């Protein structure tokens, strides 16, 4: 398997880390690895018109609390919420988001970064991908591996530019942990046949497993890897 080393997960919103790479996070932690997760946007305010009131701020804190519970479930003790406005990352100067990620790289010195796919219908996810690529230009403290993950209800809805995984990680032992970690975000998990339901999460892992010869897998797209 690819040597992930210290791994930084750059997620747009709380729940993306579980959907995109929850199984891998659990696997790396079980193997004694060091995973840090950062959440760039808060995942809630896009549902409301500005200016936001106290109720929206309380919902943002509740979403963060769900993220903390998911982190505990995945055995991640190293994480941070930046709480940029959800659904409006394309209105932020991309250099400001890239600077946040660049500072994380300088401080944490990851070998591997996991983040969103550019081929995704969610603009926040696209913005995070572009900012991550900008922040990990091969100068200074070089990040050896840059990988994209897929997010159910976002990535597969791009019908013209599909996600094409070329790296698969066996999560047969971690699939139940991934599904149960997603239960921490109960408000973000509509019933089947919604893509974020338990059944579809397991179905995607089954399909990625069938592509790679195991029971359950997560698929990733290698954007850049230095050997």
**Over the stretch 183-225, which tens digit does the pLDDT of each residue have?**
999 988 989 999 999 999 999 999 999 999 999 999 999 999 9
**Residue 2: inside a domain:** no
Alpha helix segments (H runs only) across 74-226 = 94-108, 123-135, 175-182, 198-212
Within a domain: residue 1?
Answer: no
Q: Is residue 173 part of a domain?
A: yes
Domain count, the chain: 1
Stretches in the chain below the pLDDT threshold 50: none
pTM of the model: 0.96
In a domain, 168, yes or no: yes
What are the tens digits of pLDDT across the range 110-127? 999 999 999 999 999 999
Q: Which residues make beta-bridge pairs with 214?
A: none
Q: What domain range includes position 61? A: 7-225
Give the orientation angle of helix 94-108 with respect to helix 123-135, to 10 degrees.
50
Is there a contact between 58 and 46 (Cβ–Cβ < 8 Å)?
Answer: no
CATH of the domain at 73: 3.40.50.10320
């Amino acid at each position: 398997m690819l040597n992930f080393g210290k791994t930084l997960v750059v997620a747009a919103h709380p729940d993306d880390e579980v959907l995109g790479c929850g199984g891998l996070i659990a696997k790396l932690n079980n193997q004694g690895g060091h995973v840090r997760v950062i959440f760039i946007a808060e995942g809630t305010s896009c549902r409301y018109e500005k200016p936001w009131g106290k109720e929206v701020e309380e919902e943002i804190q509740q979403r963060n609390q769900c993220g903390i519970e998911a982190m505990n479930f995945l055995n991640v003790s190293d994480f941070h919420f930046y709480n940029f406005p959800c659904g409006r990352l394309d209105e932020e100067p991309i250099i400001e988001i890239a600077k946040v990620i660049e500072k994380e790289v300088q401080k944490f010195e990851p070998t591997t970064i996991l983040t969103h796919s550019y081929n995704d219908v969610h603009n926040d996810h696209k913005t995070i991908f572009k900012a991550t690529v900008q922040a990990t230009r091969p100068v200074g403290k070089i990040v050896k591996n840059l990988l994209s993950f897929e997010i159910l209800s976002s990535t597969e809805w791009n019908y013209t530019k599909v996600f094409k995984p070329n790296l698969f990680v066996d999560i047969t032992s971690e699939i139940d942990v991934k599904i149960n970690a997603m239960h921490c975000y109960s408000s973000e998990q509509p019933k089947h046949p919604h893509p974020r339901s338990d059944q579809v999460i397991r179905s995607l892992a089954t399909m990625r497993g069938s592509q790679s010869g195991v029971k359950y897998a997560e698929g990733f797209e290698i954007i850049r890897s230095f050997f």
